[in-house]
Structure 1
């Protein structure tokens, strides 16, 4: 199969389960082995192994539209699928707002959400966009009272996320050197609310900060306890997930530049994902009937951002990072226990990180205790700056 310009080599055409079942039932052929059977129930005859006698792929390009026609023939049936797509170059626009820091304007705390959607996008991404606007409004009210953040806060509204994280990735690549040396953290909210139950994912040095923020905000579905209390009681999996995938705009910050990052949201999977039914009606009726969950996400998002922007010492916890690495290393050791693999250097490195984390925490305490009248001195400010720089470079 030859490439058709910018079209992918393997065409993909989503169809409904009803259509898929009809097609699968008519294919014939031998029933596949058990470990090849799909997880979708309802096909009593089982999935079949089919030998196609011929496959053809035709790509017609006209008026900047590509029409893809795929046909294949089995011993029993002939199937043809058509897929029409538009090929064009478009301009995308990221919207960036900046609140300049009063003492460390060259240190950036970034908050981001994308605004492009497959259809109406009430959940993904507009619930997150609403939360970002809510956080911005709260910052504006603080500014009216005279507040200025210690470090610069950057509010990012990304375009073209659904096309492959294009907006955020291009921006990170364009500003790679600045971000690598000046970015404190990136806090992401893609879809703020898709149902009940709070969830968070982060790089490990932010774990404690996320937990403490969740302890300060009331559960929107049970005001007698905090989000943290409900969060702990409702999960049997690790409390905070990791950001190892590339599913949202944190990907470029972590994978290209190594910026500490976090992601917050209510609700896991939801049935209208990326469909025309992801609209205001669904959100109001099912996702967030009183819109309290959206406010709660904005509260946690804003609290974490404020602490990163305002605290004298960056609230990073590398003891948490070392503990997470040790946990992963223990799992790896179990996996390779039957093989001749020496993990001792890995465990030594983790131990060295733990000792370095304990040392910098001690140094932080010593600097705090010595400040007194020195808090206004250049020497004290340089000590704080130097320690924070080491935390950022870890």
Structure 2
């Protein structure tokens, strides 16, 4: 029989809301699992590079205090680990061996990639990469040695496969990326003839393709772009740039497009990562099909999940733009295909709800606590 979590304190270490996709993920996740515990103590921190070495010591002491003060000594620590997230990594590194520690790994195959990215390193871009890039093997060895979490939740199948050989001492558990609770909107085949690009703007997300897509697509297919940072993109005739959105504005954006386009490509010279996509999770939450490359963990997906994956594309921008233009043209005016993909997305939406994801985590946590008693 698994252990009842209702007598346990959860110490939850995660970025503050708005600190990248992980901060937003954390807010929805902790709300989903909160009711299963006697209490949830949230320890929120800033973004990668916000903290000095002395700050890390302070965080570590604060976490140890929260653990030590748990009523009856019943405590579980869970952290959100992603690229450059040194606070949860180092703050849990020296917790006592008897304390159960788990983590969600957002950027597999490694927990944080840059274990020395303190405030000083973040302020000196060249120094950060001069240390971490040539010393990658050392960096990974440091992470293997000091990774305190013994159970690692991973949000993609390829990510789980990649992390197992790199961290053989850990138990790796594959769980889906939670989908936020969003209102029901019109099915994709009933929406305006438009595609959308969505999400935080950074290298590798494919926003540089919007100009080429506009030239290649028929003029009757609209392009809408939304997300933090999109307001700074160059203005191009025939492209509606919405900027950062939330709440009703986000609902309206997704109801105005038939599919989300994700022309993702190479992001980092450090090697391939297999993260889950927050953009994909948003699309699922709104029952919206996706057209994407097979970059990283996107290659795990297919039409059974409501996703059209363009496989084997080169990194040549012209080839990528042409392939996406052809795929968009073939899909958005095909109501039957859109309806089928939309139905598959709805299946994923239910399977990845807060209730289902909480069930997946709490089952593992209960077993872990039972085995530690």
Q: TM-score by structure 1 length?
A: 0.23
**Larger relative contact order, structure 1 or 2 (CA cutoff 8 Å, min sep 6):** 2
Q: TM-score by structure 2 length?
A: 0.24
